[in-house]
Amino acid sequence: MASPASTQTCGSANPESPAPPDASKLKITHSKTPKPLQPVETLRFGQTFSDHMIVANYDPETGWSAPEIKPHGPITLDPSCSCFQYGGNVFEGMKAYLGPDGKARLFRPDLNMRRLERSCARLALPPIDGDAVLELIQRLVDLERRWIPKESGYSLYLRPTVIATKPGLGVMASDHAMLYILAMPTGPFYRVLKPVALFAVSENVRAWPGGTGGHKIAGNYSPGFLPQQTAAEKGYDHILWLFGDDRRITEAGAMNFFVVVKRDDGDGEFQFDMFDMYHLLSVEGLDLITAPLDGTILPGVTRASCLALAGDPEFQKESSLRLHPQEMVYTMSDLEKWSSEGKFLEALALGTSVIIIPCNKIGYEGKDIVLPGAGLGPVGTALRKKILDIQEGRTEWKGWGVVCP
């Protein structure tokens, strides 16, 4: 099960916050030129947006304005705004799925909203009430329901964003803000679910103790663009971020990272087929390992869900897996050792966009750690299938799928 550090708490970031954006005062301005839906096979992540977006503004004297659903389009800001000068920007990524009953569902949106609250608080942005934002998101999903593809693996991606809009130069917290929520139909991040190769780096770091790595902040992402280019030039798909002199494993690109390892004290047995994919002969003795939430790791929704599923007796029975979820510090030396001993079985990258994808190669100090198989192994396959079934409404699971009214 996930450790106490993974637990998401409810309630807004500041109990004395001014009134949140009020959905009862929502104004709706319909687009006069609705766009035609495009074939799902042509959808590319981040390229096609729905007809409408939501906007609300915060002023320190009047609080949050009445939110408005309006046609998707440009926003106007003073070029001296804090968001441009000092990076006061936070966001969330979440999806609405269309179930077999025709209803739209969000996947564990409470975790996204709590994280949004914490991210705003970390950048000293005007406080936001996640429950109020969630109500607005549901209203937008309802209006844009036609944009949710019916095909499995497709969804309506939602991007709630809060930016600092105080005009004028000055290194200080912004007491003005804008909330906007975008929606876009999207398909699988990777059209073919094939393994990705990782390039381990320690000369650059994604996050550091006391920093902002545990929050969904825009400034966390652009510093990774140059190392990513370097990795691509060397033939790798993503960065495996290391930290410290002991080369601790943290994250993969902009995703959380898990490994599956045969336990020393377990009796897990497996064999390899002609495609170098392992198959379990017995189900005991597999650790599912990821880095702990120490402030440098983003508390991902997919991450928390995989940890919870892995330790759940009902899921273990359903999947015929007996996993031991572990949040622990582990290093490149550990990966090298487990690989040399034949215990390193799967490496998984997780996130809202990709759900779960396999990693089959890790480049480190001029050598590659090569993992078995040409796709997801038994653990990654079981976790991915279960999460997709919940997201797409084929199964109910502990209230994780929230139906939009």
Q: What are the sequence ranges of the domains in the chain?
A: 4-9+17-186, 196-393
Strands 278-280 and 270-272: antiparallel
Residue 277 has a pLDDT of: 55
d(CA 181, CA 158): 7
Contact partners, residue 369, CB within 8 Å, separation at least 6? 335, 336, 339, 344, 361, 362
- The C-alpha atoms of residue 173 and residue 137 are separated, in whole angstroms, by 27
pLDDT for the residue numbered 190:
74
CATH code that applies to domain 4-9+17-186: 3.30.470.10
Architecture in CATH of 196-393: Alpha-Beta Barrel (3.20)
pLDDT computed for residue 3 by the predictor: 39
Report strand pairing: 196-201 vs 278-280: unpaired
Contacts of 85 (CB under 8 A, 6+ apart): 169
Model pLDDT, residue 191 = 66
Per-state percent for the chain, helix, strand, coil, to nearest 5:
25, 30, 45
- Nearest-CA neighbor of 394 among 155, 106, 100, 98? 100
pLDDT of residue 58: 97
What is the distance between the alpha carbons of residues 58 and 64, in angstroms, rounded to a whole number? 4
Give the global pTM.
0.91
Strand 238-243 with 196-201, pairing: parallel
Angle, helices 109-122 vs 301-310, to 10°: value is 130
How far apart CA 180 and CA 21 sit, in angstroms, is 11
Q: Distance between CA 286 and CA 278 in Å, rounded?
A: 13
Q: Map residue 197 onto helix, strand or coil.
A: strand
Rg value, the chain, Cα: 22
pLDDT in tens, 114-167: 999 999 999 999 999 999 999 999 999 999 999 999 999 999 999 999 999 999
pLDDT at 192: 64
pLDDT at 373: 74
Residues of the chain with pLDDT under 70: 1-17, 191-192, 265-284
Element (H, E) at 109: helix 109-122
